[in-house]
A = this chain, B = another copy of it.
Amino acid sequence: VAHQQLPDSLPPQHNGDTGTSSMNAEPYDVTPPGGTAGEVLARYLRERATAFLRALSLRAENETEADAILRGTARRIGGVLHVYGPLTDPGWAEPLRAELGWLATVLGREPQYAGRLARLLDALRRLSVTVEEQESVTVGGAPPRAPSGGPLELGAARAGALLERRLTLARTRAHSASLQALGSSRFHAVADAIAVLASEVPLAPAAAAPAAGAMAPLAAHAYRRLCEAATALPLHRAGHPYNADAVHASLGADLTTDLQDAPWHQVRVLLRLSRYATEVIRPEDGTADLQRLADAAGPLQRHREAAESASAVAAAARTPRIAPATAYALGVLHADQRHEVEAARFAFSRLWQPAVPGPRGQ
């Protein structure tokens, strides 16, 4: 296989070690397909870039689906450029990564608000359901009746209406912002860069080395960062159900909760990077590893959604002149979402240790 994608300036054998290093000597058990690192990386990036461009033309038909693909591919390309940074031209990759991050964030807001509202309205329904309704749902009998109207139940309905108003407004604004972003010259520059990527990836000299030797250490490094961050989490404590850690600061300043949640959010990001890195080097036979990483990502995703939903509830509770019953229902809902945070940590702590093996040879 020729090094057709590498710049001419590449020294023919820049690193003698990589040619002889076996996979077992690497700390991370990867089996990248044959060929140079540049070929493997370029193949992955080209595929994602093509998907990105296809989604752009799909937007007229199905905006939601197209935006999801744009977000996903933007995150993947950005993540892969980060993990395999030493294999690409940094002067090209770094600014593109920043722009892809901006795009994914802007496009991500609308579905986040939609998901948050759905989650909170679901929780309110769950919190105000009566035993009879529960049973009728369980046996598939009569349709749920209207709440039997205690003052606190009225509060739940009003809290739901307040959240719906606030989050629908936020969602509408996020939709406008993403439309505006997609029409901006900033976005067109990103799309141009992606179009270039679909045909040619600007690689660094290191990409000429065989994929196994050049990519495995980078993927292992990403995995190691994930493991270190996950190990630093209070997993032992989180593994004890009902430890009430996540509700500790429910009535404290937001900052307190944010500080507590941040390391978990960080692990979520590192887990995603490790997933994308694994996708590149194990496109076919890595499904078990990918499945494990995806399984561990689930609770962290729920952790983030619950934490942000709890914050949205606290923000709604600061609305001036709300009725005490509304505030009470928001308080119950806030604590409920903080318990969901705790439940997600519990689930992750159970999943992480046995399911995701540590990197080999460490």
* Residues of chain A at the chain B interface (Cβ within 8 Å): 124, 126-131, 134, 147-148, 150-153, 155-156, 241-242, 244, 247-254, 256, 259-260, 314, 317-318, 321-336, 339-340, 342-343, 346
Complexed CA–CA distance, A1 and B113 (Å): 81
Complexed CA–CA distance, A332 and B335 (Å): 5
List residues of chain B with CB within 8 A of the CB of A152. Answer: 251-252, 314, 317-318
Copies per assembly = 2
* Residue on B nearest A321 in the bound complex, by CB: B324
* Residue on B nearest A336 in the bound complex, by CB: B335
Complexed CA–CA distance, A249 and B131 (Å): 7
Complexed CA–CA distance, A321 and B325 (Å): 10
Known contacts being A241-B242, A244-B339, is A128 close to B326, with CB within 8 Å? no
List residues of chain B with CB within 8 A of the CB of A329. Answer: 251, 331
Partner of A260, one of B131, B241, B323: B131
Min C-beta distance of A317 to chain B, whole Å: 5
Partner of A126, one of B241, B248, B331: B248
List residues of chain B with CB within 8 A of the CB of A340. Answer: 242
Contact A249 B343 (CB under 8 A): no
Known contacts being A131-B260, A335-B335, A342-B242, is A253 close to B327, with CB within 8 Å? no
* Residue on B nearest A258 in the bound complex, by CB: B131
Min C-beta distance of A232 to chain B, whole Å: 15
Known contacts being A314-B152, A339-B242, is A127 close to B327, with CB within 8 Å? no
Min C-beta distance of A31 to chain B, whole Å: 38
Contact A253 B332 (CB under 8 A): no
Partner of A241, one of B256, B317, B346: B346
* Residue on B nearest A134 in the bound complex, by CB: B248
Q: A322-B324, A327-B331 are in contact. List 5 more A-B contacts (CB 8 A).
A: A128-B250, A130-B253, A148-B253, A152-B314, A334-B335
List residues of chain B with CB within 8 A of the CB of A250. Answer: 127-128, 332, 336
> Which of A249, A329, A332 gathers the greatest number of chain B CB atoms within 10 Å?
A332
Of all A-B residue pairs in the complex, the 3 with the closest CB atoms, nearest first, are: A331-B331, A241-B241, A335-B335
List residues of chain B with CB within 8 A of the CB of A130. Answer: 249, 252-253, 256
Contact B324 A127 (CB under 8 A): no
Contact B248 A129 (CB under 8 A): yes
> Which of A134, A242, A327 gathers the greatest number of chain B CB atoms within 10 Å?
A327
> Which of A152, A242, A244, A251 gathers the greatest number of chain B CB atoms within 10 Å?
A251
Contact B131 A241 (CB under 8 A): no
